[in-house]
Chains A and B, each alone.
Chain A
Amino acid sequence: MNRRLLNGRRLSGAEVSPFGVLASVVVVGLLVLSFVDNPGLFVDQAIGGLVYGMILVLIALGLSIILGLLGIVNFAHGALVMLGAYVTFEIMTQIGLSFWVALVVAPVIIGLVGIIIERSVLQFVYDEDPLVGLLATFGLSLMFSELVRAFWGGGPKGVPLPQVLSASADLGVTTVARFRLFTVIVGALTVIAVYLFIERTSFGLSIRAGVLDREMAEFLGINMPVRFIAMFFLGSFIAGLGGVLRGAEVGMDLGMGEHFIILAFVVVAVGGIGSLFGSVFAGLLIGEAQYLTPVVLRTLATVTGIQWLAIPGIDGLVPYLVMIVVLLVRPRGLFGQEGFLE
């Protein structure tokens, strides 16, 4: 089932329709047009989109791992991201340690929270309908928001960034906030680390084997519960990491959990459930789409003179539009696998 977790499914020539070709040509044409119209802005937004996309990937990666490997729809994922941010706040402002400490410690704590969730709630729903897991974690996410509200209050919080990361980085063609660059690097390293772990270690191999056929794996002496716990730790750890980075950059507030769970789901659904490569690709795609769509629309509006094309605030809708379009055209997402949760 998860053989091709990390390999993207190649789109064979027979699968691309003439309509698809036409659509691609139109999109490329619009992008070129926008570039010509305002090169500086286009480059800024294009790179900004990649950076934001990487942030989305980091947020969604944990969800994708748990969903892809364990088949659990973890609705509490967004709450874990939020918890990571608030724990960072606690470590940095209340206990007074530095950001770098929080960067390491907070994800570990969230990973442990993930283990608690797995042992207390999720281990009972592995064999049930996926909806049961979704509902259970949905309830958990509600509990988590209230817990966060109880401990830290409803007001928004913020933490100071470390000096070395708080300025901007000049990349030649564009300027990016250093912290965002840092987030991109951490994200990329995480993706690589996860890939290596799952594909190249024997532990990862045993996990993949166990998920394919749990009974057989247990006959062979593989301790599956331990592996499930490990994967949940990993997924939650990454969620916490995303929370640390996001919280440090933009601050933490109670709406984070809900906001990120929706975005994470969109990324995973677009990429295809069960495909880690798909999630990475989808995250970058959505990030780019969100940043470039207003630019393209604005160019179109100036070129054609149809002013209402430049719909204000359209970028908020872009992730959902992408999801609807992709899922209508490819019901399993871009790289999703057959039979997975269907």
Chain B
Amino acid sequence: MTDEPRTNETINRTEEGVDISSIRRLSVPIGLFLIVILLRPLVSHPLLLGYGQIATTMLIWMLFVASFNLLLGYSGMLSFGHAIFLGAGAYGVAIGIAKFSAPYAIVAPTAIAVAGVIAYLIARLIVHKGEIYFAMLTLAFVEAVQFIANDNPMGLTGGAQGLSGDTLPAFIQTYRGQMLVNLGGFSVDWYYVVGLVFCVSMLALWRVVRSPFGRSLIAIRENEELARAMGMNTRRYKAWAFTLSGMFAGLAGALIEINDQGATLSLLSVQTSGDAILMTVLGGANYFFGPLAGVFMWLFAEDYLTNFQTLYLPLAEFPIVGVELSGVLTYWQFLLGLLFVIAVLVSPREGLWGLTKSGIESAYNWLRSYQ
């Protein structure tokens, strides 16, 4: 994607944190904090989704998809294999707890490290191939990993059943869906623990993206030949990008293991990777917060629309006419797919977040011009 005017825009936008104003410098941490604080109350509102559990899943997926965007948005690499690392994190933790009775504090970092090692090995093998071949190879790898997990080597992965029993760490208690974390006598809601991990890791990701390493990735994305001509070892940068994004995905996997009480084979599926691609592009691959918006949109739509039965017009309290929508809305994926295609055609990298931002900006300018 080497469109000239967009290049400048892109570099400007990704440099926004470096502006003089301190508010803008803190915009990312503040944004993350706000997301954590506001997401669950927002989602639990009876008019919206009506229950808070899904907010935790959203946060974990946001982390996963943000790690994926390090590849797609910042490095320009399309990978169908990102599910491998989500699965590696989840399975690593599940195996450690269920089969070896090890404490979470040891198992989780190990699983993340394993995810990183796998990512590095795969990256060294394939990262220098052409884009399409690279994408196809990641597809082959994720299918292969899923096959191996299904094969239940040494009885570790539980085959098609996944790992479900005995997979919660000791410090978790759960009753009818409410999960608490016990830390030395204090009980903290699991949602806030996830929120804390989310904020910290997203900030780390933000630092990576704004570092010279991150800027080099953007340069590679914009014009790899030029970067190589300038003496950059693009293969090494891409491999490290792949590894880092794999590790963050592994972290998301370690969290999902607790959230979903175990590891399932579908975490390693092509659909999981495909969902990440959809959410990233829908949200906006060009922006740090873009994928987060995509996750929210997708998961919200999925839950909201599949539960939508009848639309009462004009108001639920005073129904004049009720439109039976439950049939049509079960095909919400069609609508989101359509939105996705339109997004890809109109501006592949802007997505919802980008369009919203430019919409707000143009509204602001229009207002200003009316002084």
Contacts and interface: CB of A to CB of B under 8 A. Distances in A.
Given A138-B274, A327-B129, A143 B337 contact: yes
A147 B334 CA distance: 7
A132 B133 contact: no
A150 B338 CA distance: 15
B137 A323 contact: yes
A130 B136 CA distance: 13
B344 A135 contact: yes
Nearest to B78: A131
B325 interface: no
Q: Considering residues B129, B131, B133, B135, which has the most beta carbons from chain A within 10 angstroms of its beta carbon?
A: B133
Interface in B87-138: 125-126, 129-133, 135-137
Q: Considering residues B132, B143, B333, which has the most beta carbons from chain A within 10 angstroms of its beta carbon?
A: B132
Given A128-B1, A317-B144, A324-B137, A139 B333 contact: no
A323 B281 CA distance: 28
Contacts of B334: 142-143, 146-147, 150
A132 B143 contact: no
Contact of A258 (B131, B140, B270): B270
B216 to A, nearest CB: 20
A320 B344 contact: no
Contacts of B333: 142, 145-146
A233 B125 CA distance: 37
Contacts, number: 115
Contact of B132 (A134, A321, A324): A134
A21 to B, nearest CB: 24
Given A121-B341, A142-B337, A324-B141, A341 B136 contact: no
Interface string A294-333: 0000000000000000010100110011011001100111
User: Does more than half of chain B's interface fall in helix, strand or loop, or is it mixed?
Assistant: helix
Contacts of A128: 1, 348
Contacts of B277: 135, 138
A318 to B, nearest CB: 10
Interface in B315-360: 331, 333-334, 336-338, 340-341, 344-345, 348
Contacts of A324: 137, 140-141, 144
A145 to B, nearest CB: 8
A114 to B, nearest CB: 16
A258 B130 CA distance: 23
Contacts of A332: 133
A140 to B, nearest CB: 6
B83 interface: no
Nearest to B140: A320
Nearest to A262: B139
B337 A139 contact: yes
Contacts of A140: 337, 341
A266 B278 contact: no
A149 interface: yes
B147 interface: yes
A124 interface: yes
Contacts of A125: 345
Contacts of B136: 265-266, 269, 323, 327
A128 B278 CA distance: 19
A262 B143 contact: yes
Nearest to A124: B345
A139 B337 CA distance: 5
A320 B340 contact: no
A342 interface: yes
A209 interface: no
A97 to B, nearest CB: 28
A91 interface: no
A262 B147 contact: no
A70 interface: no
A269 B139 CA distance: 12
B345 A121 contact: yes
Interface string B174-197: 000000000000000000000000
Given A128-B1, A146-B337, A317-B144, A327 B130 contact: no
Given A121-B345, A125-B345, A146-B337, A342 B130 contact: yes
B151 interface: yes
Q: Considering residues B125, B135, B336, which has the most beta carbons from chain A within 10 angstroms of its beta carbon?
A: B135
B341 A136 contact: yes
A331 B147 CA distance: 24
Interface in A93-151: 121, 124-125, 128-132, 134-136, 138-140, 142-143, 145-147, 149-150
A273 interface: yes
A153 B151 CA distance: 32
Interface in A254-273: 258, 262, 265-266, 269, 273
A80 to B, nearest CB: 15
Contact of B133 (A149, A321, A327): A327
B128 to A, nearest CB: 8
B327 to A, nearest CB: 9
A149 B147 contact: no
Interface in A148-168: 149-150
30 contacts: A73-B132, A121-B345, A124-B345, A128-B1, A132-B348, A134-B132, A138-B277, A138-B278, A138-B340, A139-B341, A142-B334, A142-B336, A142-B340, A143-B334, A143-B341, A146-B331, A146-B333, A258-B270, A269-B136, A269-B137, A313-B147, A313-B151, A316-B147, A317-B143, A317-B144, A320-B147, A323-B136, A323-B137, A332-B133, A342-B130
The 9 closest A-B pairs by CB, nearest first: A342-B130, A146-B334, A142-B337, A139-B340, A139-B341, A143-B337, A320-B140, A136-B344, A269-B136
Given A125-B345, A136-B341, A269-B136, 8 more contacts: A134-B132, A135-B277, A138-B278, A273-B133, A331-B130, A332-B133, A341-B130, A341-B131
Interface of B: 1-2, 76, 78, 125-126, 129-133, 135-137, 139-141, 143-144, 147, 151, 270, 274, 277-278, 281, 331, 333-334, 336-338, 340-341, 344-345, 348
